[in-house]
Chains A and B, each alone.
Chain A
Amino acid sequence: MTTGTGVRRREGRLREEVRLLAPTGHLGFTPLEKESFLAGLERDPDFVVADSGSCDIGPYPLGADESASPPAWQYHDLEILLVETRRRGIPLIIGSASDTGTRRGVDQFAGMMEDIAARHGLPPFRLARIYSDVPLERLRRLLEQGVAIRGLDGRPDLTLADLDRTSRAVAVMGAEPIVAALDAGADVVICGRSSDAAIFAAAALWCGMPPATAYYAGKVLECASFCAEPFMAKESVLGTLRPGEVVVEPMHPDQRCTPASLAGHALYERATPFFEHVPAGVLDMRGCVYQALDDRRTRVTGFQFRAAGTYAVKIEGAGPAGARFLALAGLRDPELVARVDEAIAWARRKVAERYGTTGYELFYHVYGRNGVMGELEPHSRPGHELGLVVEVVCPDRHRGREICTMAARQLFYARIGGRTGTAGRAALMTDEVLEARPAYRWTLNHVVPVDDPLSWFPTVLEQVGFSSPDPHPAPDPLAAPAGGREPVGAGAASRPAAAGRPGARPGHRPAGRGEGSRHAPA
């Protein structure tokens, strides 16, 4: 049982200094390291902020709406974060819940938190869920109204055909819906798909930090210990913000945040180190100045933020490509290794004879030659043996399995001359064709102009944990029909709580436009 009071620290919005603790760069991907997180809590952070999602894991999780991380690891991380922050009354923000940031992910994390709260007897707290699913119909209407939905990174603008290929889409939220949830009194915020920088920036903006400081802090902290050296994942990092400056310090005793490590992190998984785009504008890091305060801490200044003329959110979408089958083969005979392209050509021809050349995709990945880099490989000299992965994607599952079987067995029977290996021209690891999970594609990587930042991100605020019913509830400015949702905290209400907050009301209520009344962002 916790002995904490669960009192929220939300006084003094205009703070001179704000401390943000980043415990992990991708909650649940692998379990976070608890020790440096506890060390970070000793520094009395104002917020704990953790991202839990990515589009780097490929299109399958979003397209199929499944998490990429094992739920047990997600629970592990959430349990540490929730119990320790509630014990100290520190607000907690989780971004891109359960990898995809879909409603499934947000509700899954909320359910875990309710379970954790009940098991630990946490004092009641207010939990906000911010959803970011985008009904495809909404995008379709915008296109029909002639709104240009711009493609990113060289993609063409969105077309109706792109939507027809899409099974699921999410909008990447900025700081505004999160600030609104904090305004509405949330102690814990679970975000759908969200900009990594924005989940940190929201906490800082809510405390009155200027946008440039807030977004730079988000940019540098979002991957936690990745901004420090030597390389360690899943360790906590603390950012201390004052208007115009961010000081970054690792919480693991063997790590250092140096000018080089912070500047190097500006490069990480971004096309350029100079700009970070968020819905409200762009963070310009060209003028950043990095100054070592000591061996472990570095201060960054010189960042700027320019508000965008049009508020615009990024849309991610994925759609199914077909059933997917794999077969594995190897070549050891030097003659066959040298003639692998002929063997593949033979097998392709035999597939085409029976199944034609359309309605499926067939790939031969040649490991030992260019299996990793494909067309980008400048040195395609084969090794002494080759591994082949035959990959088939086909909307018709039965046909796909047959095509993959043919594509592998015809390697075995390849007629490419020579007198060796006439009992079998390839080593099949197994004669079995392996069925993988269905294949998906990224169909949307676009930006849509948005007139109201909150209207795309409906928010629900609820109380988690038990408290005595308030005999004289105050008028609730947010009260609105619950839209048929059941109070999620109901399960936890059956057991006593360690401490109740005066005036706390059980049940949930919506916040933000689209589900109730509106809160202006800061």
Chain B
Amino acid sequence: MRLRELASTIRSKNAGVDLITFDILFPSEEAYRRACRSPVLTPEALCRLLGIGPDSLYCFVHFDPARAIKFTVRRRRPAGSPGETDVFGTQQYGPLLDLEVEPAGAPPAAMSEVAPPAPAAAAPAAVRPLGCGARAGRGGSSHGDGHSGLE
């Protein structure tokens, strides 16, 4: 099944001026679990899809309350700089739509530990498992909103 058929919402959007974040939301627990197991929705597979190195992937999380897979990538240049093509970052999700969620012959993705990017000030030593697994990003923390977008 293609991701566009399994998901209820697929979108991308700026997260501040230096990041673009992708949200994939699912209509049911079953659909969400299938996506979480998909080998094409892992950090490594998404980096390959977008042609970026692992350092450009800011974070990747599974978020159970919203039945969502979310990942965030660094922009090559800050939003709106000369050469910009998508100042709000809202049309970057296109390549996700036709991903085959359960490609023939591929083993399901391994469930790994979750560690969302911790706040700089009070980084907890251990983060309790969230969701059906994923992996976290690196680097700083997006600070204080400032980045509310169109809304």
Q: Which residues of A contact B (CB under 8 A)?
A: 24-26, 29, 51, 53-60, 150-155, 172, 174, 193, 195-198, 222-224, 226, 233, 259-260, 263-264, 266-279, 281-282, 284, 286, 288, 290, 306, 308-310, 312-314, 316, 321-322, 324, 361, 363, 365, 371-379, 391, 393, 439-442, 445, 447
Contact = CB atoms under 8 A, between A and B. Distances in A.
A393 B150 contact: no
A31 B37 CA distance: 43
Interface residues of B, number: 66
Contacts of A373: 85-86, 91-92, 94-95
A391 B17 CA distance: 21
B82 interface: yes
Interface of B: 9, 13-19, 21, 23, 25, 49-52, 58-59, 61, 63, 65-68, 70, 72-74, 76, 78-88, 91-92, 94-95, 116-119, 121-122, 127-128, 130, 137, 139-151
A25 B82 contact: no
B92 A376 contact: yes
A56 B58 contact: no
B147 A269 contact: yes
Contacts of B50: 376, 378
Contacts of A316: 17, 146
Given A172-B146, A378-B49, A59 B81 contact: yes
Contact of A378 (B51, B70, B88, B140): B51
Query: Among B51, B59, B82, which residue has the most Cβ atoms of chain A within 10 A?
Result: B82
Contact of B142 (A51, A272, A378): A272
Given A58-B79, A306-B122, A442 B143 contact: no
Contacts of A264: 9, 23, 25, 66, 68
Nearest to B82: A393
B19 A278 contact: no
A373 to B, nearest CB: 6
A54 B147 contact: yes
B148 A196 contact: yes
Given A321-B82, A378-B49, A263 B116 contact: no
A282 B119 contact: yes
B116 A272 contact: yes
Contact of B144 (A24, A172, A272, A374): A172
Given A271-B59, A271-B117, A445-B17, A278 B23 contact: no
Given A59-B81, A271-B72, A272-B61, A277 B21 contact: no
A309 B17 contact: no
Given A198-B144, A267-B68, A286-B116, 10 more contacts: A59-B80, A172-B145, A197-B144, A222-B148, A267-B21, A272-B61, A278-B144, A378-B50, A441-B80, A441-B81
A5 B66 CA distance: 44
